[in-house]
A and B are shown apart, each in its own frame.
Chain A
Amino acid sequence: MDYEEIIRKAADKARDDIALAQEPGFIQTVAWFHYLGLLKHNKILPHRHHPDLEDVLKAGEIEPRILELLPAVLILLPEAVQFQRTDLPEDLAAVIDDIQNRRDCKPFRNIPPQKYCHWLSAPIIDIARRRIDFRGAPRRRSASAGDFGGIIRDGRLKLCLTQESFAKKYNLSLRVVRDLEQGKTTASIAALSAILRVFGRTLRA
């Protein structure tokens, strides 16, 4: 075994992992789960934030412990994640259906049922529930004048489209849709105008 070669390969891959772990959606998801007392992290502090399901699922690709918690969170603490039933990817919807209908559960993205079902009866869920006080929780994605991210996200959800299907339907790049919803201003004026037109809005100076 060539240790140096293995370290080099790992470092190459780890650079991508670290970049993904620095994305706002990942940090905000971990910070929120940390705030709820469901997760601990050695570098991300707890923070009151209210992530949407796409952020949570994407964060779960880097940190599978988030996916381990997710079915229990969506069933027992649905208010902890911004989502609509139509946002659920097929595999997650199937897991939730199986749990709710007391059917045998299948592994969810390589997580065995005993791992994710464990959290359905964990006392920590009650603690998390007490930590949620939505009257004081920030509404990151509420649409207000000039809040393009909120307008786009709310409009997309009204159409019951995921970011991916929305981008595909309106011939936009997924990255542009994601960035705009996260409040990043990387889109061109033309792209922004095109998206706002979908919701009957226009850009004004």
Chain B
Amino acid sequence: MALAAVFERLDQWVTAENQSATIEGYPLLPRSIFRVVGQAALLEAHVQFNVAATVDVDVLNDAKHEVVAKLSELLNAEGLELDPLGNEIWMPSETRYVEIFRGDWITAMRAETEHIMLSKALKAPIKNRVLLRNYIAARPPESFFKMCEKYNIDLNGIIEGN
């Protein structure tokens, strides 16, 4: 199942929770934004180069704990896991996100590939060396190289395996 369907179910759950809350007089769960990053976002983007991903999904979010817990449960039902440290993943300030689902209460987005790859090049270049080589060989946009310069990333070193 695509991640969009998982977020759609989450939106349905929040809608039901908020309908109950309205009747009972409790505060409503606020609108939440989830930003999918990492390998899961690369798979979601249907990139042309080879991508493997473990089943943990990295998501940056501003949601209430109970909404995150429900997302974790919905992901588990699909054989995926919400990475508990997902919110700590560094993404560049330039990161653009593409919307993959918008509901009444939940918006889900995925990071654009060049920003995910930049994050990997800066934070985990050894682990992602082969992935980065494949990405660069596939001619990334010039903006990727410019960001690499800005963040002092040694692309030659990554490519050569130094």
The interface of chain A, by Cβ under 8 A from chain B, is 1, 3, 6-7, 9-11, 13-14, 17-18, 21, 30, 37-44, 62-66, 68-69, 110-111, 118-119, 122-124, 127
Residue contacts A-B, CB under 8 angstroms, 11 given: A1-B145, A7-B137, A10-B134, A11-B137, A13-B160, A41-B51, A42-B42, A42-B52, A65-B52, A68-B54, A124-B55
Majority-rule SS of A interface residues = helix
Q: Which of B42, B53, B137 touches A10 (beta carbons < 8 Å)?
A: B137
Most chain-A Cβ atoms within 10 A of its Cβ — which of B51, B136, B139, B161?
B136
Q: Are B47 and A42 in contact (CB under 8 A)?
A: yes
Q: Is the interface of B mostly helix, strand, loop or mixed?
A: helix
**Stretch binding the partner chain, chosen from B23-31, B90-98, B107-115, B148-156:** B148-156
Number of A-B contacts (CB under 8 A): 91
Which residues of B have CB within 8 Å of A14? 133-134, 136-137
Given known A14-B133, A37-B79, contact A1–B52 (CB-CB < 8 A): no
**A21 interface neighbour in B50, B145, B148, Cβ under 8 Å:** B50
Q: Once bound together, how far apart are the Cα atoms of A1 and B39, in whole Å?
A: 27
Additional 15 contacts, C-beta under 8 A, given A1-B155, A42-B51, A63-B130: A6-B145, A13-B133, A13-B160, A14-B134, A14-B136, A17-B133, A40-B55, A41-B53, A43-B50, A62-B130, A65-B52, A66-B52, A110-B126, A122-B81, A123-B76
Task: List residues of B (44-102) whose CB comes within 8 Å of A's CBs.
Answer: 46-47, 50-56, 76, 79, 81
- B52 CB contact (under 8 Å) in A17, A41, A111, A118: A41
Q: Could you tell me if A127 and B79 are in contact, using CB atoms closer than 8 angstroms?
A: yes
Closest to A114 in B: B85
Complex formed: what's the CA distance from A65 to B55 in Å? 10
Interface size on B, residues (CB 8 A): 33
CB distance from B136 to the nearest CB of A (A): 4
From A7, A64, A69, A124, give the contact of B79 (CB < 8 A): A124
- Give A204 to B137 CA distance when docked, in angstroms: 49
Task: Judge whether B54 and A7 touch: CB under 8 Å.
Answer: no
How far does the alpha carbon of A59 sit from the alpha carbon of B76 in the complex, in Å?
A: 27
Q: Assess whether B54 is in contact with A10, with CB atoms less than 8 Å apart.
A: no
A66 to B156, CA, bound (A): 25
